[in-house]
Amino acid sequence: MFLVLLLSVQLMLCFVVLSVPQVEVDSGVDSVQLPCKTTLHLPEDAKVEWKDSNFEKVHVYKNGSDQPEEQHQVYRDRTKMNEDLLKTGDLSLTLKHPTEREAGKYTCTIYSRERKILLKKRVELQFRVPQVEVVTEVKSIQLPCKTTIHLPRDTKVEWMVKSSKKVHVYQNGSDWPEDQDQSYRGRTELRRNLLKTGDLSLTLKYPTDWDTDTYTCTAYNNRKKILIKKEVVLKVKVPQVEVDSGVESVQLPFNTTLHLPEDAKVEWKDKYDTKVHVYENGSDQPEEQDQVYRDQTKMNEDLLKTGDLSLTLKYPTDGDNSTYTCTVYSREGNILLKRKVELKVREFVGCKATVNNNCFLC
């Protein structure tokens, strides 16, 4: 009997969770409507109260009018309810300029004059995080972040990735490159007059698969209060190089505009973590590479100056099919750059020539 009762309670809980309607909107919309409708007869002196998942008052309606002094200050001038809501039974709430931090469950409760609950409904607000997908060959990519909110002159704009690395910082009317992580130096750019236009989009130059991450754009006022916060998912595809078996060589591309120190180390590895090519102390280090690749690889001259770290692999076969990783290290062993390239060598199957009905591969 107890087991049956427990299962019944679990089923009821599942029903309650699944019955909460969801409203999904794109990041940066001007407004969103949280639905709450009823066919019940509501008395003229009923009180309507909207609360967020933190139990903060989002909107209060009583005595026939809105009560802005009762709502939490973060929602001031940002909420609206329909006229004649008690007559029509449409208690839906319009929330202006919603941000991702306001995602969650909202509760609409109607009370009688005696504080008896007449109706209670919940709705969940969710945001669609935009995704940007590119290949590493592109020169630049834009991560969108726009708002219609008024941004004061002293607004600070900060772009970060999940690991809390600072991608770009804008403060006091100018960029602060000294605050950003070194892997993004010289690779990021924000638009002019960004605070006036509300376009806080970030341009990231020469993206690599290493840049694949979730990026967060946050704008603060001078009291460090968050004015806007948006996320963008960036996916940088690994470039593919395809060649036919039998070619003399194939190049695995890797170019960068970053300033590379003279004592940087460049290391190419295959998917098995085998060293394909090593460049260190201004020259190749063949003794460090695996014997399988001896005399098979070549890199350009002045590669640290030109930023062309491409690898030439001679006489590739289908046995060389792999995902190759090029990593650039500082003298201290810190990773400065990292990029992957996938190589596919097509093996020829068939006849290139026939003599007396015999097939020959040339």
The domain limits of the chain are 21-128, 131-237, 240-346
Q: Which CATH superfamily is domain 240-346 in?
A: Immunoglobulins (2.60.40.10)
Q: Which of 117, 115, 200 lies closest to 156, judged by CA? A: 200
Binned at pLDDT 50, 70 and 90, residue 139 comes out as confident
pTM, two decimals, is 0.57
Angle of CA points 87, 93, 98, to nearest 5°? 170
Mean pLDDT of all residues in 345-358: 60
Instruction: Check residue 362 and give its pLDDT.
Output: 46
- The reply to whether CATH 3.40.50.300 applies to domain 131-237 is no
Q: How far is the C-alpha of 285 from the C-alpha of 293, rounded, in Å?
A: 12
Averaged pLDDT of the chain? 88
Instruction: Check residue 227 and give its pLDDT.
Output: 87
Query: What fold is seen in the domain 21-128?
Result: Immunoglobulin-like (2.60.40)
User: Is there a common fold for 21-128 and 131-237?
Assistant: yes
Contacts of 322-327 with C-beta under 8 Å, sequence gap 24+, read 322/270, 322/271, 322/272, 323/238, 323/270, 323/271, 324/252, 324/268, 324/269, 324/270, 324/271, 324/276, 325/268, 325/269, 325/270, 326/252, 326/254, 326/266, 326/267, 326/268, 327/266, 327/267, 327/269
Binned at pLDDT 50, 70 and 90, residue 299 comes out as very high
Mean pLDDT of all residues in 184-211: 92
DSSP codes of every residue in 61-125: EETTEE-GGGS-GGGTTSEEE-TTHHHH-B--EEEES--GGG-EEEEEEEE-TT--EEEEEEEEE
pLDDT of 168 higher than 70 = yes
Mean pLDDT of all residues in 252-258: 88
pLDDT in tens, 316-343: 999 999 999 999 999 999 888 888 999 9
Binned at pLDDT 50, 70 and 90, residue 258 comes out as confident
Higher pLDDT, 68 or 349: 68
Task: Return the amino acid letter for 268.
Answer: W
